[in-house]
Amino acid sequence: MLSIQGVDPASKNIADGSYPLADFFYSVRIKVDEESERAENAGRLIEWILSLQGQKLVKATGYEPSSDSF
């Protein structure tokens, strides 16, 4: 792990924005008919990623979970 200007990449520093090398993760999807199966599946995926189970996996893979949902 790389400290930058004396700031360690600890969870607290990433969450509060003091670690300068952290950024947000964005999920982009194409616009589809809201009634389509693709729209439904994309919605389910986003819902799962933001769920407790999804955020635990995010953390287990070395990323910082969303502070909005975890």
**pLDDT tens-digit profile of 6-23?**
999 888 888 788 988 877
Q: What is the mean pLDDT of residues 18-30?
A: 73
Report the C-alpha gap between 69 and 23 in whole angstroms: 17
Enumerate the domain spans of the chain.
11-60
pTM over 0.85: no
Tell which phi-psi region holds residue 46, choosing left (phi > 0), alpha (psi between -120 and 50) or beta. alpha
Task: Tell me what the pLDDT averaged over the chain comes to.
Answer: 80
**pLDDT tens-digit profile of 32-54?**
676 778 778 888 888 898 899 99
